[in-house]
Copies of this chain bind each other. A is one copy, B any other.
Amino acid sequence: MQHFSALEDPVDQAWKSIRQEAHAMAQREPFLAPILTRTFLEPQSLHEALARRLADLMAPRDMKEDTLQRLFLDVLEAEHSITAHAVRDLIVVHERDPACATQAHAFLNYKGFQALQAQRIAHWFWGNGRTELAFWLSNRASLMFGPDIHPAARMDAGIMLDHGAGIVIGETAVVEDDVSILQNVTLGGTGKTHGDRHPKVRRGVMIGAGAKIIGNIEIGAFSKVAAGSVVLRDVPPRCTVAGVPAQIVRLHSETEIPSETMDHDY
């Protein structure tokens, strides 16, 4: 039996487990039962649950939620990797945030998680030439959730945007797998040329609250940018930078993964 479970699709696994959590939550907390039913128990798949949750939060007053849900669902069913990325995001949020008790809770409540999923959908439209729709979605996401992520930015899997407030990520930015980014962080461009002008954040990086990283520079894998730093130059892998402007203050061991330990001290 173990074998089959091990081979089960992670999206299906997550969907089953989230529904169980939601069902238990609805029993314990009747006040939330209507929202939990609508978000987790009525949908037939994790695709649909994700499309619905985003649409319920993002639809403007002059648009019915199900119109937006349909738009999202068509994308999620065409491009399965978006939901698969979402599942990886949920796993890391659950692992890294001591305050996050269940994946259903993160799915329902985490602005950073929701903003990230909306961006990946906007990114799909961007890649399919529907840039104006991508911009509009991006604007709705930033109005409702906080993080302002350009639809062209490449956001890989297992990313945590903690709290989300004030986060800005620019057009040519890249955020690789397993990165943690805290509130009020900027991955900003410099100049008004149209070329590649935003940071590349490699895997396993953690960027502390309020850090500003500016220009087409690279934050090396498994490095850490301390809270409040201003980074204008490349950061090598496996080190901590801090200060205004930021300088290397510590080198890491081979096994340290800052985005997972979430240690903000230095």
Contacts and interface: CB of A to CB of B under 8 A. Distances in A.
Interface of A: 25, 28-29, 31-32, 34-35, 38, 42, 56-57, 59-67, 69-71, 95-99, 101, 105, 108-111, 130-133, 135-136, 138-139, 142-146, 148, 150, 152, 163-168, 170-171, 182-184, 186, 188-194, 197, 208-210, 212, 214-215, 226-230, 232, 242-245, 260-266
A212 B209 contact: yes
A62 B212 CA distance: 37
A232 B60 CA distance: 41
24 contacts: A29-B130, A29-B133, A31-B133, A32-B132, A35-B63, A38-B67, A64-B65, A98-B189, A98-B193, A99-B152, A109-B138, A148-B163, A165-B168, A184-B184, A184-B186, A188-B209, A190-B262, A190-B264, A191-B263, A192-B260, A209-B212, A214-B265, A232-B265, A242-B245
